[in-house]
Amino acid sequence: MDHRDKGILEDLEKAGKVLVGIGAEWKAEREPEIFKAYEALAGLLEGKDYFVVTTNTDALIYESSLNPDRIVAPCGNETWRQCSKACTKDIWEPGEIPDDICPHCGAPLTGNTREAGTYIEEGYLPQWQKYTRWLSMTMNRELLVLELGEGFKVPTVIRWPFEKTVFFNQKSRMYRVHETLSQVTEEIKERAVSVRENSVQWIRKLEK
């Protein structure tokens, strides 16, 4: 463990509030490894006032020990089903509609994600409201921001808003961890650390 890793553990120790962003490096394709990373993250966040924003839609995060009340997935959840024609705003749990056909219009169901032709955003909005309320409470408070493996596919969800949060909150500190895209902007470089490492491996390295 080098001194930079010690730095993050000290920052975690001190942090009252922790904002976490999880991006494409955490896609469930390599599921056992990713799951262990979620558990490592849950361990590091234990007892902290945290919120996790993810752009992944595979829902693996909900099988981890992280508190689902403290997670928002604005890009959706593949395991939830919606009408592919969006004739209704209903969203169904996995297996709730056995033939996977919309009971209202007969169209096939599809995953409730932004990849759906018409994405029904009601699936994540209640959590999004919780998240924005939580975020407003971090203003001028000690805030640790961990951005883990997010690239540029949907920068409006994590990457750009996190930069803005760090820019405006002078008591914040940020770690941007990514194998290739860890660069931090000029405006926040005094408070942000760029860690050019795979974020899944990085978090597992910090595990107690």
Binding interface with Zn ion (CB under 5 A): 83, 85, 87, 102, 104-105, 107
* CB 49 within 8 Å of CB 18: yes
* Cβ closest to Zn ion, residue 85 vs residue 130: 85
* Cβ closest to Zn ion, residue 89 vs residue 104: 104
Nearest approach, Cβ of residue 94 and Zn ion (Å): 18
Nearest approach, Cβ of residue 99 and Zn ion (Å): 13
Render 138-184 in DSSP notation, one character per residue.
TTTS-EEEEEES--SSSTTTTHHHHHHHHHH-TTEEEEEE-SS----
Strands (E), 56-159: 71-72, 76-83, 109-113, 143-148
Identity of the amino acid at 114: R
* Cβ closest to Zn ion, residue 92 vs residue 134: 92
* Residue where the block lists tokens 């219009």: 105
Distance separating alpha carbons of residues 174 and 95, to the nearest angstrom:
40
Nearest approach, Cβ of residue 119 and Zn ion (Å): 14
Nearest approach, Cβ of residue 108 and Zn ion (Å): 9
* Cβ closest to Zn ion, residue 44 vs residue 83: 83
